[in-house]
Amino acid sequence: MLVYRRLLSYVAPHWKVLPIALVAMVVAAGSNGVVPYLMSEVVEVLESEGRGAGSLLVPLLLFVTFMVRATVDFIAVYGLGWLGRSVVRDLRAQIFERYTELPISYFEHHSSGALVSKLTYNTEQVAEAISNAVVVAIRDSLTVVVLIGAMIWFSPLLTAMVAVAAPVVAGLVAVMSRAFRRYGLRIQTSMGDATRVTEEALSGARIVKVFEGQKHQQQRFSEINEHNRRQFMKLVATRAGGDALSQYTLTIAVSAMIALAFSETLLQGLDAPVFIGFLVALGMMLTPMKRLVNINAVLQRGIAAGITLFETLDEPGEPDTGTRRLERARGDVEFRGACFTYDEAKGRVLHDVSLRVPAGSTVAIVGRSGSGKSTLVGLLPRFYDVEAGDVRLDGVDIREYRLRDLRRQLSLVSQDVLLFDDTIANNIALGALGNAPREAVEAAAEAAFVTEFAAGLPEGLDTPVGQRGMLLSGGQRQRVAIARAVLKNAPVLILDEATSALDTESERIVQRALESLMTGCTTLVIAHRLSTVENADSIVVLQEGEAVEQGTHAGLLDRGGIYSSLYRMQFAD
Ligand SMILES: Nc1ncnc2c1ncn2[C@@H]1O[C@H](COP(=O)(O)OP(=O)(O)OP(=O)(O)O)[C@@H](O)[C@H]1O
Ligand SMILES: [Mg+2]
């Protein structure tokens, strides 16, 4: 019930088309009621002696009736089509907006394929339900009511006989509704699965080819494809079966009624025009009735889609309760006893980590793979919140700042650079940086050694980078990401250095770009390069989520602890 009401709340802003469409549908239903009457008039005229009189009136009335019906049908379908598409646009906008606001953890637990399919397929089901199903539901049920009225007008007795079938049909419809909704939900899930597998296969095209994954991927897809077909067939079977059953019921009722009508004792004085009028009304009722039963499938699918869409819309966004404003931070960063757990079952990932990074200094974070380095730096932009302890910026708990203000203080160059399908310049001037002047973008490109390779491209900085930046090399993508950080010029910089082995030449260029970026910033760098580690003001060693050693390069080497062994293994060739 709540779903209906909520779906209606999307219709409400566009209510203006409703009265027009409604009037059109009432007129359409009314015109349907006129047809049996006109038909019985036709019989009347045929039977009467003087055929000339009034014989032109009936065809004229028929002509007008059908013209009117066609016109109001157009108005109703167009009006509700417009309504449906407007609702889909609004729903899609809301869902997309929600996607951009959900916390990182949400995306770790929901496949992007399923999320994409929600945005495309599920919203389409809602549109279908609103435009098609509503036209049918209103126009056809009105038509049925009008025709039943006509039948009663012609002969209450005959109507009563046919009405015996009504409860059976109603029962069928109720049972079918439930089945429609169930299968509708399953079809949605399998559409999500299909999108997910397709996305994976497409984005992993290189891996699939080299590891001969084609067969496996095809197999995975064909299972989902088959499951989808089976669920759809259940829906089709329910619909067709229900259709047949309700037709059987009606056929029995109608045949019985005609048989009774022929036995004159029962229905004395039933003349031909009345009987024809009644039969035409009954016959005309069958198509809208059938449509009403069938449209239920569409309606139920729409409702099932609405349920999952509303679930997504109701997901809580990122916690943003801080009220403190921050124009530009000095850049004093401090972790105080930070603890963090992703998943109770896997246990704590960070244990009581304390670390101070004074404004303008550089701290290198080193440690084995999986020791919690990325997790630690991810606390600062609040991708995750600490479980115990706190993280401070300029001496204030970061949760007290407004989230936007906090993030405005940070730049991030991550391990895996993702570029958007746009030009190099637009990838540098991303998001809030979008209105940066062209000279600033060019200066950033220069500082990050982007100009060096962009100059050789056909359109320079305005060359498109392709989906995910596929048209650039790994090192080039990194430099674009660095240019982005240069342009942002935030007081705090987070670097998750790439482990990817760049050749020495490129490595040196990227290194130089990074150095120019780091000057004047407070920098937290997850270091994989020896030079970065050596030049850092301080080094922190993480081991299984604990900060086990902290000091300068020389100091830690002298201590001969974990760092010195790590140094020998990892950095010293
Ligand atoms: N989103 C997540 N959900 C659950 N567990 C996670 C998630 N991300 C990381 N982990 C786990 O947390 C631990 C720390 O991971 P983290 O990514 O911080 O390591 P890291 O030190 O950055 O490693 P690397 O050097 O390989 O990048 C690992 O055991 C990892 O399996
Ligand atoms: Mg990492």
For the chain, domains (ranges, CATH) are 2-313 (1.20.1560.10), 333-571 (3.40.50.300)
Evaluate: CB of 349 within 6 angstroms of ligand 1.
yes
Which of 349, 353, 494, 526 to probe ligand 1 with, by most ligand atoms within 8 A of CB?
349
Which residue has its alpha carbon closest to ligand 1 atom 4? 342
How would residue 90 be classed by pLDDT, with cut points 50, 70 and 90?
Answer: very high
Instruction: Give the C-alpha separation, 340 to 357, whole Å.
Output: 20
Evaluate: CB of 190 within 6 angstroms of ligand 1.
no
Instruction: Give the C-alpha separation, 333 to 356, whole Å.
Output: 6
Which residue has its alpha carbon closest to ligand 1 atom 3? 342
Instruction: Give the C-alpha separation, 134 to 298, whole Å.
Output: 10
CA 237 to chain centre: 29
**Ligand 1, closest atom to CA 105?**
1
Instruction: Give the C-alpha separation, 139 to 281, whole Å.
Output: 16
Q: Are 490 and 431 in contact (CB under 8 A)?
A: no
User: What pLDDT does residue 363 have?
Assistant: 93
Place of tokens 């989902």: 224
Instruction: Give the C-alpha separation, 290 to 446, whole Å.
Output: 69
What is the amino acid identity at position 529? Answer: R
Instruction: Give the C-alpha separation, 356 to 346, whole Å.
Output: 28
Residue 409 φ/ψ, nearest 5 degrees: -85, -5
373 C-alpha to ligand 2 centroid (Å) = 6
315 C-alpha to ligand 2 centroid (Å) = 28
Q: Are 120 and 191 in contact (CB under 8 A)?
A: no
Instruction: Give the C-alpha separation, 524 to 357, whole Å.
Output: 8
Q: Are 549 and 562 in contact (CB under 8 A)?
A: yes
Evaluate: CB of 264 within 6 angstroms of ligand 1.
no
**Ligand 1, closest atom to CA 415?**
27
Evaluate: CB of 345 within 6 angstroms of ligand 1.
no
Q: Which of 294, 289, 272 is nearest to 148 (CA)?
A: 289
What is the amino acid identity at position 458? Answer: P
pTM (predicted TM-score): 0.79
Place of tokens 């907006």: 97
Ligand nearest to the CA of 108: 1
349 C-alpha to ligand 2 centroid (Å) = 12
pLDDT at 498 over 70: no
Which residue has its alpha carbon closest to ligand 1 atom 30? 370
Q: Are 196 and 111 in contact (CB under 8 A)?
A: yes
Ligand nearest to the CA of 107: 1
Q: What is the pLDDT of residues 293-348, one digit of tens each?
A: 778 788 888 888 898 899 999 999 898 888 899 888 898 999 999 999 998 888 89
109 C-alpha to ligand 1 centroid (Å) = 15
343 C-alpha to ligand 1 centroid (Å) = 11
Q: Mean pLDDT for the chain?
A: 86
**Ligand 1, closest atom to CA 545?**
14
Which residue has its alpha carbon closest to ligand 1 atom 2? 342
Evaluate: CB of 483 within 6 angstroms of ligand 1.
no
Q: Which of 312, 290, 300 is nearest to 245 (CA)?
A: 290
> In the numeric block, which tokens belong to residue 261?
């009508």
Within 13 Å of residue 405, how many CA atoms lie on the same side as its CB? Answer: 18
**DSSP single-letter state for residue 415:** S
Residue 2: Cβ within 10 Å count? 9
Least confident stretch, 42-51, 86-95, 225-234, 329-338: 42-51
Evaluate: CB of 485 within 6 angstroms of ligand 1.
no
> What residues form DSSP beta bridges with 367?
542
79 C-alpha to ligand 2 centroid (Å) = 54
Residue 254 φ/ψ, nearest 5 degrees: -70, -45
Over range 218-243, report the average pLDDT: 90
pLDDT at 499 over 60: no
**Ligand 1, closest atom to CA 376?**
18
User: What pLDDT does residue 182 have?
Assistant: 87
Burial 161-172 (b: 16+ CB within 10 A, else e): bbeebeebbeeb
Residue 360, SS3 per DSSP:
coil
Within 13 Å of residue 33, how many CA atoms lie on the same side as its CB? Answer: 22
Ligand nearest to the CA of 342: 1
pLDDT at 501 over 70: no
327 C-alpha to ligand 2 centroid (Å) = 30
Over range 153-173, report the average pLDDT: 82
How would residue 269 be classed by pLDDT, with cut points 50, 70 and 90?
Answer: low
105 C-alpha to ligand 2 centroid (Å) = 16
pLDDT at 40 over 70: yes
Q: Strand 492-496 relative to strand 362-367: parallel, antiparallel, unpaired?
A: unpaired
CA 461 to chain centre: 33
Residue 355, SS3 per DSSP:
strand
Evaluate: CB of 343 within 6 angstroms of ligand 1.
yes
Q: What is the pLDDT of residues 16-35, one digit of tens each?
A: 888 898 899 889 888 888 88
Q: Are 293 and 172 in contact (CB under 8 A)?
A: yes
Evaluate: CB of 373 within 6 angstroms of ligand 1.
yes
3-state percent helix, strand, coil for the chain, nearest multiple of 5: 65, 10, 20
Ligand nearest to the CA of 373: 1
Least confident stretch, 167-181, 216-230, 397-411: 167-181
User: What pLDDT does residue 266 have?
Assistant: 58
Evaluate: CB of 268 within 6 angstroms of ligand 1.
no
